[in-house]
Amino acid sequence: MGQRIDVNNLNIYYGSFLAVEDVNINIDANKVTAFIGPSGCGKSTVLRTLDRMHEIVPGAHCTGEVLLEGVNLYAPDVDPVAVRRDVGMVFQRPNPFPTMSIRENVLAGVRLNNKKISKSDADDLVEWALRGANLWNEVKDRLDNPGVGLSGGQQQRLCIARAVAVHPSVLLMDEPCSALDPISTLAVEDLINELKKDYTIVIVTHNMQQAARIADYTAFFNLKAVGQPGHLEYFADTTTMFNNPQNEEAERYVSGRFG
Ligand SMILES: Nc1ncnc2c1ncn2[C@@H]1O[C@H](COP(=O)(O)OP(=O)(O)OP(=O)(O)O)[C@@H](O)[C@H]1O
Ligand SMILES: [Mg+2]
């Protein structure tokens, strides 16, 4: 099952630069929440604090709380590596490991976690994850071929299979369709819609139609001015965000009259 995320008073820094200011948001379990907003407003930065990837950048840190099912990911006794296992991330460009086969790509996260796994358990896991990513039928006869030999859309679904293979409770996706053609995009959107049965999903997108199609809730991030920190301007269920937003900036943004 997916887990809920509650973000309280989150301030996110790169060194001394405050990139995103005072974010408060509640992200429902087993729903799709979209992050939208102009470039540089901090969507990716906020997303990366939800699995403690942000702090991998030297000097980057944050204050405030991110609660995963009530447990603060930033409590001193929490191991960031364990967090990244619980919370899967899919990136903008599909990034299968170049030297690995399709099969080994799916298993890469599991192997990183140093889990010993028998051949038959591995076979079952590969099939389960690839079915879950809606890719099994396309690749089942060539599992030992290189992952990078797949089309862009197939590679992105392979990366989703790799992320779900470690059984995360949350899937974070940063513009997962921006490098894909329209047909692959729809395949990934269908998949996201199915995955929310099992996962809590947060997706960053610049595509308003995509947010309207797949998100249950939408968070609009904004910038007061260049050089100022980004902030969460308005949060609403997706129907309200796109049809009747109670925020002027959000209304201008979703109707394409921004800037
Ligand atoms: N590694 C980094 N080091 C320093 N500053 C960074 C770093 N990454 C992002 N920033 C800054 O943090 C702010 C938010 O950037 P972020 O990438 O989160 O925006 P975004 O909303 O995802 O934009 P886009 O839509 O272009 O992807 C920007 O001012 C950006 O320049
Ligand atoms: Mg970004």
DSSP, collapsed to helix, strand or coil, labels residue 140 as: coil
Distance 212 CA to ligand 1 centre (A): 24
Per-residue pLDDT band at 209 (split at 50, 70, 90):
very high
Which ligand has the nearest atom to the CA of 48?
1
Distance 210 CA to ligand 1 centre (A): 22
Determine the pLDDT at residue 222: 98
- Domain 5-254: give its CATH superfamily: P-loop containing nucleotide triphosphate hydrolases (3.40.50.300)
Per-residue pLDDT band at 259 (split at 50, 70, 90):
low
Determine the pLDDT at residue 32: 98
Q: Where do the H-state alpha helices sit in the chain?
A: 43-49, 80-86, 102-112, 119-132, 136-139, 152-164, 182-195, 208-214, 238-243, 248-254
Residue pair 37/258 in contact (Cβ under 8 Å)? The answer is no
Give the number of the atom of ligand 1 that is nearest the alpha carbon of residue 45.
18
Q: Which two tokens stand for residue 43?
A: 């969507």
44 lines ligand 1 (CB under 6 A): yes
C-beta pairs of 150-153 under 8 Å, 24+ apart in sequence: 150/96, 150/102, 151/184, 152/94, 152/179, 152/180, 152/181, 152/184, 153/180, 153/181, 153/183, 153/184, 153/185, 153/187, 153/188
40 lines ligand 1 (CB under 6 A): yes
- In the beta sheet, which residues pair with residue 61? 13
Distance 45 CA to ligand 2 centre (A): 7
Residue pair 60/235 in contact (Cβ under 8 Å)? The answer is no
232 lines ligand 1 (CB under 6 A): no
Per-residue pLDDT band at 183 (split at 50, 70, 90):
confident
Residue pair 67/8 in contact (Cβ under 8 Å)? The answer is yes
Give the number of the atom of ligand 1 that is nearest the alpha carbon of residue 227.
29
